[in-house]
Structure 1
């Protein structure tokens, strides 16, 4: 564990940054680290650092994005008067985790990708108590220890089996304090996907290194999935990264959440405006689940 001893009581077992993979780690899943044949590696980091067409219609640097997203999380936390321990799940390379600077906030980041955690550790701030290498379905924490869980940038719906996605919500419920909040943020609007032209959307993005990223996503209504391809077009070669993300309707979100014990306190259309309810035109979706 990379962190402070006074918080060691929240863990079910002691963990280090060199933790071996969970024995239940599934095979042949797209969300593995790139060195395991999956999507998340250097290409993803490069693709995540584009400078144009952010949310389609405005230019925004990486620094601008970080400020926008961390400010939105802070506004939600203040609105719901949350304090104590906050979990970024997953935390990736620490882009948001290490930039979240609310007074008295104590943070923990968890991610399956060791290489991302290695980079996150390089810029780790004093309020980040631990970085943990683990599958987020099998959280190594005791019950009722977190006040807020942030699941940012379309990081829910990775798992091919419906039961695994539901299990993740149950794990978050287990480790949340009473009235604790889960923030699930996505650049996929569940109201909008069913109205994509031909069930498909495409983007062409110029990257900070001068290369081109072409994104093609197709919505499979029957299976509630978006099938996506990132095509990186460079000077020397073209590389492809593929993924599949489960997208539930608002009605299904309400049914699943209620069955677990959550209350959906709001569904927002922007991380930047916490008073804006989701509408057809929005390019983001932020679902706020509260443990009751």
Structure 2
């Protein structure tokens, strides 16, 4: 029997198509970043690490292989159900809203690959940052890896078509009311799908204002996964270390 559209979540991040479209992301580069950032933080052996907005847990699994005691958390129930297949004594996954602090405290919290700024209300971004701060132990550090909005807006690719696993995705991007939007349209098994990602175009100055309000200390910024200096016009990423 053909699967009907109704079986798929209306939440783009909770659908299998989200993972299909992004399955070719450069995970070797991601692992290089995790190697570099954990070395920079000089985390203790068996450190308790939170991978916040972990998706299906690929980076949580890698962190766990490096010897850390890892919790992966994400709002997507489907992603967490998938990730739970990889659980072990030092790797656990849970459904969690990043606006809510954890009961336990962590040596490090990672929010990687632009997994922030998806809330409609800017107050929620502040609440999420406060929750991260309150989930760190006294010696803990948080790492927030975001796109460099200034470079992204300068080089925004307004339209492209991408075929993955036989599905043709038509992607359009634009900027509206302080958000970067990405519309993804495709057909699958006779059904038409239309999703839009919407992320707040937060600059370093925006984050600094939010962090000041949240009582957070911004300790360092980097501009790429090799931890080079951040330049607002040139850097690929905006990586912030705070506590």
Q: Which residue of 2 aligns with 1:217?
A: 173
Kindly provide the CA deviation profile for residues 189-225 of structure 1, in whole angstroms up to 9, marking residues without a partner as x. Answer: 222244356xx63333231x132223222112xx321
Q: Which residue of 1 aligns with 2:237?
A: 284
Kindly provide the CA deviation profile for residues 69-90 of structure 1, in whole angstroms up to 9, marking residues without a partner as x. Answer: 1331231121121232100111
Q: 1:179 to 1:260 in 2, by over 3 A?
A: farther
Q: Which residue of 1 aligns with 2:3?
A: none
Judging by fraction of residues, say which structure has more strand.
2
Q: Distance in 1 between matches of 2:97 and 2:30?
A: 24
1:91 equivalent among 37, 54, 68: 54
State how 1:188-207 maps to structure 2 within 5 Å: 188-196=147-155, 201-207=158-164
Q: Distance in 2 between matches of 1:283 and 1:233?
A: 32
Q: Which residue of 1 aligns with 2:10?
A: 37
Q: Which residue of 2 aligns with 1:242?
A: 196
Q: Shift of residue 238 of structure 1?
A: 4.1
- TM value normalised by structure 2: 0.85
Question: What secondary structure, in the 3-state scheme, does the structure 1 residue paired with 2:97 have?
Answer: coil
Kindly provide the CA deviation profile for residues 80-136 of structure 1, in whole angstroms up to 9, marking residues without a partner as x. Answer: 2123210011111112111224543110011122211111111235531x2112222
Q: Shift of residue 67 of structure 1?
A: 3.1
- The alignment's C-alpha RMSD in Å is 2.4
Asked whether the equivalents of residues 106 and 135 of structure 2 are also in contact (C-alpha less than 8 Å), the reply is: yes
State how 1:140-219 maps to structure 2 within 5 Å: 140-142=102-104, 145-186=105-146, 188-196=147-155, 201-207=158-164, 209-219=165-175
Q: Which residue of 2 aligns with 1:58?
A: none
Q: Shift of residue 179 of structure 1?
A: 4.3
Judging by fraction of residues, say which structure has more helix.
2
Please say if 1:117 is aligned against 2:117. no
Q: Distance in 2 between matches of 1:111 and 1:232?
A: 25
Gap regions ≥5 residues in structure 2: 1-6
- TM value normalised by structure 1: 0.72
Q: Distance in 2 between matches of 1:211 and 1:108?
A: 33
